[in-house]
Each structure stands twice: as C-alpha cells, then as structure tokens.
Amino acid sequence: MNRRDYLKLAGITTAGFFISQGCTLTGRRKRVHTNFVIVYTDDQGYADVGCYGAKNFETPHLDQMAKDGMRFTDFYVSQAVCSASRAALLTGCYSNRVSILGALMPWSKNGLHAEEQTIADVLKTKGYAAGVFGKWHLGHHKPFLPLQHGFDEYLGLPYSNDMWPVDFDGAPITEKNPGKKPWKLKYPQLPLIEGNEKINEIRTLADQASLTTRYTERAVGFIEKNKDRPFFLYVPHSMPHVPLGVSDKFKGKSKQGMYGDVIMEIDWSVGQIAKALKSHGLEDNTLVIFASDNGPWLNFGNHGGNAKPLREGKGTMWDGGARVPCIMRWPGHIRPGSTCTKMAATIDILPTIAAIAGVEPPEKKIDGVSILPLLIGDKDTNPRDQYYFYYGKGLQAVREGKWKLHFPHSYRSYEGVEPGADGHPGPYTKGQTPLALYDLEKDISETVNVADQHPEVVARLEKIAERARHELGDAHTKRKGTEVRPCGQIETTEQ
C-alpha cells in the first residue's frame, strides 16, 4: 500500500469511527487516546487456545478476552519462522520487503534496518511510551536492538531460547560432553538483555522456567509507570518455543503435560496484564491483541502444539504454519463475542494502530491495510482479499478470498512420521507439492486439489503471483524483486 492510498483509507475509516462514537476532532468532547498491547507467543498452534478448540488444558483469560472482543478465524503471519514473522508484525511489511528472512542466528551480522519504522516509531510521533519485554529476534547487536527502533524499555532474549550450548536434558554441551547436538558448541551462552546491555545469562532449564513470569512482571510495571500517558506495550513471549520452561505455580497443572502447563502460564500472563489495565482504569481505552508468531513445531510431539484442522505446522506455508490464533479486545469499539471470518494478517496491525492513533504511516511503502472497519463491525468492508505466502525468498502460494493456490515447491513435512517427545525432536520428511488449488471454505485442511476444475481461478491467482514476484521476487523462478529493501548489516561478528 502506498502512502496516498493509506492516508485516504485511514482518513475515511478514522473519521467514520469517531463520528460513530459521538466525537468530533473539533467538538467539545475530548478525544481520549488509545493504548496498545500486543502479546505475541512463539510456536503456539492454531488449536492451542480454548476458544479455538484446545483440549486437556484451559485458557480462561484468553477465552474471556474472546468473549469480550473478537476472535479471528483467518489470521496470517508473513512467514512461519521467528525473525521473519516479527519483522512483518512490527513494520507492516512482508518480511521479504525488509529482507528479514528465516531465523537470525547468534553469529548473524544482520538485523532490522535503521531506516525501517516500527509500530513504536510511528507512535513516538504522538508521544507514546513504548516497552518490549520478551524475545526480540531482529538482530542482537546494539544497532538492531529495540531501543534503536522506537522503544524506551527492553528486557528479554535477543533470539530463540534454544540457541544456547545446552542439550535436551539440560546438560551443558562442552567439547568433552558434546551430547546429542555437538554443533551447539558454536552457540554462546544465552544472554538476558536490559536496554542495550547484557545483564545476565540463561544457563539452565530452571532459568528458562522464570522467563514468562519475569516478562509479565515487567509488563505490569510498565503499565503502572505509564498509566497517565499513552503507551504501546509489546510482550513477545519466549514460550512455548522449545525448550519449554514453566514456573512452579503452573508445573503439572494441565492434563496435556508440560506444553499445556506453559500455555496455561501464558494465559495467566494475559490475565495479569488485563488486571493491571483494569486496576488503573485503562481497559476501556486499550486495544489488546493476542497472536502467535507461527504454527506449532510438530516434530517435538508432546512438547509441540496443535494446528488441527489445518495442514502441517511451523516451517511451512500450509495454513498450519501460517494461520495463527488471534484475539482482539477493545471495549466500546469491538462488539463482544464477535468472530471475524475475513482474512487479516500481522502486517495489518501497524496501519490499523496508526489509523486509530491518528498518526501517519511509515514514509516507505508498507504492505498492510487498516482493518479498523472490521474491528468496529462494518459488515460490508473487506480490507484484505489477497495474500502472498513466502518462505525464505520463494513464493509458495497466494490466496484470494476462499481460494489458495500453491506453486510447485518442496517443504518440511511432519506427516507420516513419528514425532519426538519430552523435548526431543522427531524427524521430518521432504514434502513436494505440484501446482495445487484449494477451496478453504470447503477444505480447510488443504487436502483436495481442485486446480483442474477451476482453470479460470488458477489463471487469476497466477496473475496475482506475478505481481508478487515483480515486487518481492521469487527464488523458485529466479525472479529478483524490484521493491525489496536491504536489512541492516554490521561488519563485526563479535557477540
């Protein structure tokens, strides 16, 4: 979306929104600012929330959030992998546009470019305080950390919690004791960062068990500290990415096992944030968004999640990897107990927040669209009817309305293999798909290829794919995108 089209849409929807609330921008009634909270989990599956069908563990706070707000059925991430997903959420761009692909490693020289504007950056123009507590994974060197991208406070891990020299059983990996993953010897100790500085190291599974509570306590403190000014709070939990860690207050609480315990603690975290908002009289003017960064890591078995009835999981752009649970709560604006069946995505969150806050979008081109009309119940609107599914630099599929067209590509498959258990991964195979068209309204599991029955739909979606290849490239057809921007890079590889 270009800047002119964004401002046109945002101006229309925002003006209509405030008129519907009995307010005008110049009238006597004072416009109350809206706060924003995003809780973003790691590797939580589509079916890992009670209101999405979870079994053997409870999520009462998330279920209440859905009862008070809106549950999305067709909500997508940009890529089903850590760094790419987070880059898209914070910039409103497909991750390919900002050149953050896959999962950045502890020895990576790359990160989010200084010229890219995040949600925190655009809200800063309106005086918002911004804090992030949890997993960052957009570059661990100082130029890439949150304080250089619009945030005022940061506590958390710079990348995934399995990027450390520790074996599955918690034993340190050394040259004398390489365990089952000797290649982990090249990992440094997992750093806990406050602001721009390392303040501690996460060395044991017991250290991991404290992370969810630690992030939550800082989030609640941030709300208390900024209760009298507008704020943006981002809580990207390290869990339920393996290795799983859960505090004693939730250990052994679920029938599902440790994975269920971890999700129950995340649900508790959401409840603590909601409680803090209510105690300070902020819940009615705060938009709270809950989502996952991608689908479940299925080959970890009982330490992975559940994406049913969707196909596959993390690491694939079948819907089990790219479609995630999403709940939004905004009292007085979102109708309680509503369900949105229209397509939306994490790239739409930035322009939606900008429209609500009355701030301009980033100067550089973004891909998201404002879904504010969906939130306020405009049944005639459909802000997003098309979506691109990239993995790495390869365009794997496109969707328009109910139709999703996969292009020939190989992918990581979890089907037909025995998963691992108790923190140990099982194998996965190499899947291969031909050109395949799916009707997601009739076939949510993407199992029946109807390409031969609908050649006109295939032709139309192939034209959409050509537009994506022109803008963002496609490794499968050796096409280089003409509108791709570079990521940030540094010269040194020092930790």
| Active site residue ranges | 82, 137
Strand segments, DSSP code E, in 384-443 are 386-391, 394-400, 403-406, 409-413, 429-433, 436-439
Instruction: Give me 47's structure tokens.
Output: 């079916």
Nearest in space to 236 (alpha carbons), one of 215, 218, 221: 215
The tokens describing 201, both together, are: 């190291």
Q: Is 17 helix (H, G, I), strand (E, B) or coil?
A: helix
**DSSP labels, 95-163:** TTTTT--S---TT--EE--TTS--HHHHHHTTT-EEEEES---S-SSGGGSGGGTT-SEEEE-SS-TT-
Q: How many Å apart are CA 488 and CA 87, to the nearest integer?
A: 12
Residues in CB range of 234: below 8 A, 6 or more apart: 37, 38, 40, 90, 119, 120, 130, 131, 132, 133, 134, 151
**Residues 146, 102: Cα–Cα separation, whole Å:** 19
Strands 344-345, 75-76: parallel, antiparallel or unpaired by DSSP?
parallel
Name the DSSP class of 83: H
What is the DSSP track for 284-319?
A: GGEEEEEEESS---GGGGGGS---TTSS--TTS-SH
Evaluated on CA atoms 174, 179, 182, 188, the torsion sign reads negative
Q: What are the distances in angstroms from CA 443 to CA 309, 402, 415, 423, 450? A: 10, 10, 18, 32, 10
Residues composing the chain: 495
Contact predicate 294/324, CB 8 Å = yes
